[in-house]
Copies of this chain bind each other. A is one copy, B any other.
């Protein structure tokens, strides 16, 4: 889902697949848990189970990082923790700014596991003047007017947007102008950013809709298994009538009002 960055490094040597990158944090978490239990080594099978992936995939993923395992034995937990941390850039601390200190912004500021590994909440920013100075999670909220200064003074390169959707693009633009090159967007908006800026989004509503899709399928299958009753449809709102001519060929369940048969 990251935006921008079309170019690939010429050498292609260090090209770790995006899908692999997305799983490294998962492995790291599982490894950290093992490390805390002082487990010295782990096999791909065990680690894969802990991370919720299959072992072939895990081994392939690790193969992009290098040969960090020992045949017949497995992986050294501490060693792997370090290597993955380094690969992810977590051996340094990233100052993060959260913009939009409403319910969600405050919840994130208070989120513990946040600061734990590699990240530090460097600033909380909100557009409401009344909030300025109020401490949230022990950090005083600052006003949007100072956004530019706050970002540069703290060397923030990662911004988190938790504003209402209407403000998100504007905040994004200001963050980028101030030097932020990675954005985590919680607002339900598509952000447009210049090349070289990465955006990732977290969207409750999208996730629920994806679940609803599968949930609906399950209901349908159940009905089918029950002996093919009518298609599950629930209490439909009256559907809009098609503006132009009829004759669509949806695979099934065309708009009731226009349905031929």
> CB-CB contacts of A51-76 with B at 8 A, as 1s and 0s?
11000000000000111101000001
A146 within 8 Å of B (CB atoms): no
Structural contact, B209 and A25, CB atoms closer than 8 A: yes
For A93, the chain B residues whose CB sits under 8 A away are 234-235
A29 within 8 Å of B (CB atoms): yes
For A114, the chain B residues whose CB sits under 8 A away are 204-205, 208
Partner of A242, one of B67, B79, B102: B79
For A110, the chain B residues whose CB sits under 8 A away are 103
A237 within 8 Å of B (CB atoms): yes
Structural contact, B211 and A198, CB atoms closer than 8 A: yes
Structural contact, B111 and A103, CB atoms closer than 8 A: yes
Chain B residue at minimum C-beta to C-beta distance from A206: B25
Bound together, the chains give a CA A22 to CA B209 distance in angstroms of 8
| Chain A contacts to B: CB under 8 angstroms | 2-3, 5, 9, 13-14, 21-22, 24-26, 28-30, 40, 50-52, 65-68, 70, 76, 78-79, 81-83, 86-94, 96, 102-104, 106-108, 110-111, 113-114, 117-119, 157-158, 165, 181-184, 188, 190-192, 196, 198, 200, 202-216, 218, 221, 233-237, 239-240, 242-244, 248-255
Closest 7 CB pairs of A and B: A92-B234, A89-B216, A66-B250, A103-B107, A52-B190, A182-B211, A25-B209
Given contacts A52-B192, A91-B233, list 12 more A-B pairs with CB under 8 A.
Answer: A9-B221, A14-B251, A66-B250, A66-B254, A79-B242, A92-B233, A113-B205, A119-B205, A182-B214, A183-B211, A184-B211, A200-B207
Copies of this protein, total: 2
Structural contact, A212 and B90, CB atoms closer than 8 A: yes
Known: A25-B210, A188-B113. A243 touches B89 (CB 8 A): no
Structural contact, B94 and A104, CB atoms closer than 8 A: no
CB distance from A173 to the nearest CB of B (A): 16
